[in-house]
Structures are given as structure tokens and as C-alpha cells.
Amino acid sequence: MKKTVTINISGHMFYIDEDAYTRLRAYLDKIETTFRNQESGDEIITDIESRVAEMFNERINRETGVVYIEMVDDVIATMGEPEQFEDGDDSEKKTYTPPTTLLARRSKKRFFRDIDNRVFGGVCAGIANYFNIDLLLVRIISVLLIPFTSGAIILIYAVLWIALPPALTTAQKLEMRGENITINNIEKTIRDEYDEVKKNFSKFKDSPTYKKGENFFHKFSKRDKSTLIIIAVVIGAALLFQMPHFNGIFHAPGAIFTGFTHHVAPTFNHIFFPGALTFVLILLVIGLIFKTVLKVILYVIAFLLLGSLALKVIFWLFGGFLLMC
């Protein structure tokens, strides 16, 4: 048994086997990468696509109406790989080989947020990729830096989150890892991603969480999740206002530099002062009773703590500004 997908090539609909689809997709992606940067590249791509559609029409079995992998291979062989295309104009030879010359020129590493390996914004993963160090190490150091810098690192994280672009396209992902952007690499990455998703999904489907999660998490659309996060931050802020001495923590503008010795004790005392601690405990108990919501509860707690820290940083900045005025 094979799964079939429906595709539309230049206005024509085909039923195509999944394996055939993967191959065709990789091929057309390759064509697109080759011609995208050329003059009238779109037109060339459209022409090739409509010819592919035409060839499928010639080969398709009218009764079943399905495109098989053999047909795709046949069509690709007839059409040829982009490297096989003979180009008649020497002056355009340079644009003809974007995968090796044009793009490799900027194959230097660039700083991106790695949103595939993110916890919040993928900043840590981006740093790990850029400096080629272990992601876990970066995360641990970042978390340790929170008390050391009295929370200022969170602000820096936020700034990086806003400033750094996420690596969205395959080319950007390769650039992030400093790999050359060649067609072969892109093909490889796409195939890797496809396999990964396929593997994860089948694994996920088999796990008991799938059914449970289906019941519960489906109710949580993205918007609901952000609402929860916002509520958490609000609660965090509310708790903060209840705390005694909340002005006293960041009184020194130089907290970033003096760091640990001065500020670690109050920072943590503050958060785990009865109010917050009880709240967190209650949440944890709820989370443990209803295990399906545990993940969400953990998010809430994390945001509660981080939110109050972030607020402190903001107040500290404000205080600093006021002092300067």
C-alpha cells in the first residue's frame, strides 16, 4: 500500500505516490535554485514545469491516473539535471552556476537564530552553531549567567531575539552552519528534514501521548498558548508588586558588572519568597495531578519566574534613567 498525494503542476492536477512526490519535489527545487537568480528565471522554471506536466500526461495510465516513481525518474532523465543543461551563452556562464560560484561566495558563516533547536527563540542554538560549540554548554552558561548578571542577560537575550533573523530557508540554515550552499547540500538538507519529520511523526503516532495529546492539545491553538504565556507574565508581574523591597534589588546601575556577589542572594530570595513559592508549588501539584497539562504548567512557572526577573530588569533600567535625570 502506498500513500498518494495530489499535486498541481502548471494548472494540471496529478495523483502522485509519496516516494515519487519526494523525488519530483527535490528535482523541481533544484531547478528552481539553479534558475531563480537568472534573468527571466521564473519563465524558464514555468516552462520546464509545464513540460513536466505534459510528459506526465503522456505517460500516465488513464485508468489508474497515478504518477509512479518510475515515471518521475523517466521524466527527470528526459529533462536532465540542471548540471547537464548545456548553456550556449558564455557571458552568462557565471550566472548559470549559482550553486557553486554565486552562492559559495557568501558561504561564510552568518549569525541566525536556529529555530529548529529552540527553547525560546533559538538564540542559544544560533550561538552554538556560529561558534561551533555544544548547544548544551551554551544553554547552561546562559542560565548560569542569569544570577551572575542579576538578570541582565535576559535583556540581552531579548535584544538578540529581536535583532537576529531566524534561519528559515534551507540556504539560510546551511549558511548558519557555515556549509557551502550547493545544490547537493540543499538537496541533502531537504531530504534530511523530510526523513526527520517522517520519523518523528511515526514515533509520535505510536506513543501513548499522541492520543492523549490529541484530545487535549488540539484545543490549544497557538493563540491559546500565547494567552497562557501572557497570563503567566501578568501573574508574575502581580506577584512582583506584592513583594517587599522590590526596589532594593537593582538599585545599583552597575549590577551587570558587580554581578554575583552583590546580587545573587536577593534575586533568588526574592523570587522564592513565600508568595511566589507557594504559587509555584500549587501549580506543580495541579500539574502532577493532571499530567496532560504538566508541560503547560511548567511553561507557566518558567514564565512566572523569568517574567518577574525581566520586570526587575526593566525597573532597574528605569531607576537608572531616573537617577541620570
Partner 1 sequence: MNVENVKAQMRKGVLEYCILLILSNNDAYASDIIKQLKEAKMIVVEGTLYPLLTRLKNAKLLSYRWEESTQGPPRKYYALTEEGRTFLSEMDASWNELINAVELIHQTNNTPE
313 within 8 A of 151, measured Cβ to Cβ: yes
* Cell output for 197: 519529520
Residue 89 found at the interface with partner 1 (CB under 8 A): yes
246 within 8 A of 240, measured Cβ to Cβ: yes
Question: 76 or 243: whose CB is closer to partner 1?
Answer: 76
Residue 79 found at the interface with partner 1 (CB under 8 A): yes
Residue 14 found at the interface with partner 1 (CB under 8 A): no
Residue 87 found at the interface with partner 1 (CB under 8 A): yes
Question: 11 or 244: whose CB is closer to partner 1?
Answer: 11
Spatial separation of the C-alpha atoms in residues 112 and 95, rounded to whole Å? 26
Binding residues with partner 1: total (CB under 8 A) = 30
Torsion angle of C-alpha atoms 257, 260, 264, 265, degrees rounded to 10? -120
Residue 61 found at the interface with partner 1 (CB under 8 A): no
Task: For cell 538599585, name the residue.
Answer: 251
Among 160, 162, 179, CA closest to 110: 179
Question: 26 or 311: whose CB is closer to partner 1?
Answer: 26
| Residue 17 neighbours by CB under 8 Å, 6+ apart | 2, 3, 4, 66, 67, 68, 69
Task: For cell 534589588, name the residue.
Answer: 249
Residue 39 found at the interface with partner 1 (CB under 8 A): yes
* Cell output for 208: 501513548
Residue 54 found at the interface with partner 1 (CB under 8 A): yes
Question: 65 or 80: whose CB is closer to partner 1?
Answer: 80
Sign of CA dihedral 19, 21, 24, 28: negative
- Please identify which residue in 18, 36, 40, 269 interacts with partner 1, judged by CB under 8 A: 40
Among 73, 69, 65, CA closest to 6: 65
Instruction: Identify which range of 43-51, 108-116, 191-199, 224-232 contacts partner 1 by CB under 8 A.
Output: 43-51
- Please identify which residue in 18, 36, 70, 80 interacts with partner 1, judged by CB under 8 A: 80
Residue 88 found at the interface with partner 1 (CB under 8 A): yes
CA neighbours closer than 13 Å in the CB half-sphere of residue 246: 19
Question: 92 or 224: whose CB is closer to partner 1?
Answer: 92
- Please identify which residue in 51, 110, 177, 262 interacts with partner 1, judged by CB under 8 A: 51
| Residue 205 neighbours by CB under 8 Å, 6+ apart | none
Residue 37 found at the interface with partner 1 (CB under 8 A): no
Instruction: Identify which range of 34-42, 121-129, 201-209, 222-230 contacts partner 1 by CB under 8 A.
Output: 34-42
Q: Which residues bind partner 1 (CB under 8 A)?
A: 10-12, 31, 35, 38-40, 43-44, 47-48, 50-51, 53-54, 57, 78-82, 84-89, 92, 96
